């Protein structure tokens, strides 16, 4: 598979930026939000670096796992945000979770070219990323009547 010029990991970096923006310093100076912001920025830098790589299976699955982590981070901290910043953090959850799902077919395509033990490990990591991103998304969804 040829390495694309643009990868879904770039969307994950965008989601990290959204979460960092939502956690910008507020009047109450919450230490929790500062930590979440720093973690989001770290994940964003990691995703930017992964997006610049060659699209190898390892980079793709690592990006999927990082996006799942980002979706979880955003979902778990929505209630700590002021009401006006929750929509942008909610968008970060959905974008990170969607990016995870977008990366998985790319991981699967690369996995078929690898030897058995390595391919199985990559596919297991991809399933883990999918499960974690689904959990984060489900955590914030309001049940419809």
The per-residue pLDDT for range 101-129, each reduced to its tens digit, is 999 999 999 998 988 898 999 999 999 99
Q: What is the pLDDT of residues 9-26, one digit of tens each?
A: 999 999 999 999 999 887
Does residue 133 sit within a domain? yes
Does residue 3 sit within a domain? no
Closest CA to 42 of 52, 54, 50: 50
CA 82 – CA 128 distance, rounded (Å): 31
Parent domain of 38: 9-139
Task: Look at the chain and report how many structural domains it folds into.
Answer: 1
Does residue 1 sit within a domain? no
Tell the burial category of 41 from Cβ atoms under 10 Å away from its Cβ (0-12, 13-18, 19+): middle
């Amino acid at each position: 598979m040829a390495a694309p010029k643009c990868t879904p990991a770039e969307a994950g970096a965008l989601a990290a930026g959204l979460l960092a923006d939502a956690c910008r310093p507020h009047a109450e100076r919450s230490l929790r939000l500062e930590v979440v912001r720093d973690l989001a920025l770290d994940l964003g830098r990691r995703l930017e670096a992964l997006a610049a790589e060659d699209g190898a299976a390892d980079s793709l699955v690592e990006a999927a796992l990082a996006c799942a982590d980002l979706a979880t981070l955003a979902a778990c901290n929505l209630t700590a945000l002021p009401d006006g910043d929750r929509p942008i953090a909610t968008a970060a959850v959905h974008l990170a979770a969607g990016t995870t799902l977008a990366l998985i077919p790319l991981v699967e395509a690369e996995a078929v070219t690898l030897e058995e033990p390595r391919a199985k490990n990559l596919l297991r990591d991809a399933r883990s990323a999918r499960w974690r991103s689904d959990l984060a998304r489900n955590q914030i969804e309001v049940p419809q009547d």
